[in-house]
Amino acid sequence: MKIKDLNDGIRVIENYLVTNVTKGVSNNGQMYLTVSLQDNTGQIEARVWDANENDVEVFKQGNFVRVVADVIEYRSNLQLKVMTGEVLNPKEVRLDEFTMASPVKLETLTAELDRLLSSFADTDIQRLVERLISDRYEAFITYPAASRLHHEYTHGLLEHTITIANLADRIIDYYLELYEGDWHINRDLVIAGILLHDLGKTIELSGPVLTSYTVAGRLVGHISLMNAELLKVAEELEIKSEMPILLSHIILSHHGKLEYGSPVTPMTKEAQLVSMIDDLDAKMKLIEKALNTTNGGEFTDRLWALDSTSFYKPKK
């Protein structure tokens, strides 16, 4: 039975991926483990009471385990009370059974990416973007957009990127139609900036399974990493226009504020639009994720990334 289908009061015998584990000591002085378990539908917290050293070996981060556990409700959330656990041979498991993936089919996302890449009128932009994405294509279509918070699953980076690119096109088309073409913005620059803005996460993050930050990710960060790649490739392609600098500005400023990690704030219309849509999609995903685990007529937990706001889910 998948994690999303679990109900209070049942016993399960299932296979999971251990994504995190911490040790604790109970009131009676016995060691216990708090374990995060994952399948391709979600995560659940588990407790291993009266744990011994064998349990510590079994429930190591990164292990695939087969557990016998009771599903209980604790503080309005489901939890597993583990009876037994054993390590599975990683060569005998299918990774796609343990990693969450984008709800949008990969074929749909890659088709949209191909369409966007072929839509540029500016040849300098097209050459730059195609080269940078082709260099990291497999990671770009596979990686999550983050280790937690939003789009934190396989293909999440591509889903986030395609979503905001399509939002940008619709916004630009609306303004151009509203003002009969008299609305000044460089559409190619906006879309290129969006396609590249988070591409550095393919260097910053370790991959789609047990995603963590790389050394380069922690010391430099995806913004600076991608900016360096962009300027290097622009020099290799001998692009003399100002497009590399304008794209660089979008990448550097897309977090919007200095305190959010951008070394500069948006100072072009295109950079401002990219930053705002990027922020919009991330926040909508955060709220949607919280609402998905909240009953109608109740509030979500406080979301620290949204000023610790709790969001109400209306009754159906």
The per-residue pLDDT for 169 is 98
Residue indicated by tokens 């699953």: 153
Q: How far apart are CA 299 and CA 290, in angstroms?
A: 9
The per-residue pLDDT for 94 is 84
Q: How is the chain split among helix, strand and coil, in percent rounded to 5? A: 45, 20, 35
Residue 292 banded pLDDT, cuts 50, 70, 90:
confident
Q: How far apart are CA 42 and CA 65, in angstroms?
A: 16
Same fold, 3-96 and 101-290: no
Between 209 and 244, the higher pLDDT residue: 244
Check: CB of residue 169 under 8 Å from CB of residue 152: no
Half-sphere exposure at residue 13, Cβ-oriented, CA atoms within 13 angstroms: 1
Regarding pTM above 0.85, the answer is no
Residue indicated by tokens 């584990």: 21
Q: Where are the beta strands (DSSP E) in the chain?
A: 11-25, 31-39, 42-48, 64-74, 77-87, 298-299, 312-313
The β-bridge relationship of strands 77-87 and 64-74 is: antiparallel
Residue indicated by tokens 């510590």: 56
Residue 41 banded pLDDT, cuts 50, 70, 90:
confident
| Domain chopping of the chain, boundaries | 3-96, 101-290
Q: Which CATH architecture has domain 3-96?
A: Beta Barrel (2.40)
pLDDT in tens, 53-107: 999 999 998 899 999 999 999 887 899 999 999 999 988 888 788 888 888 999 9
Read off the tokens for 290: 């919280």
Q: How far apart are CA 205 and CA 218, in angstroms?
A: 9
Q: How far apart are CA 6 and CA 182, in angstroms?
A: 55
For the chain, give the mean pLDDT: 93
Fold of 101-290: Hypothetical protein af1432 (1.10.3210)
Q: How far apart are CA 49 and CA 87, in angstroms?
A: 18
Residue 309 pairs in a beta bridge with: 303
Closest CA to 48 of 72, 29, 24: 24
C-beta atoms surrounding 279 within 10 Å: 16
pLDDT (mean) for 301-307 = 90
